[in-house]
Amino acid sequence: MKSQSKALPVQKKHDKYLPLVHSQVLQDVLRRVNKSFENFFRRIKNHGSPGYPRFKGYGYNRYNSFTYQQTGFEIICSKLHLSKIGDINIKLHRNMIGKIKTCTIKRDMNVWYACFSVEIADSLLEKTIIKSVVGIDVGINLIGEKFLVYKENLRV
Count the Cβ atoms, other than its own, within 10 Å of residue 105. Answer: 20
Please give the order of strands across the beta sheet that includes 65-68: 65-68, 99-108, 111-119
Q: What's the mean pLDDT when you consider all of the chain?
A: 82
pTM as predicted: 0.66
Residue 58 contacts residue 69 (beta carbons within 8 Å): no
Going by the DSSP 8-state scheme, the letter that residue 64 receives in this structure is S
Residue 147 has pLDDT above 60, yes or no: no
Mean pLDDT of 68-92: 92
Reported as a pLDDT band with limits 50, 70 and 90, residue 150 is: low
More confident residue, 116 or 1: 116
More confident residue, 35 or 135: 35
More confident residue, 39 or 145: 39
Mean pLDDT of 73-87: 92
Reported as a pLDDT band with limits 50, 70 and 90, residue 82 is: very high
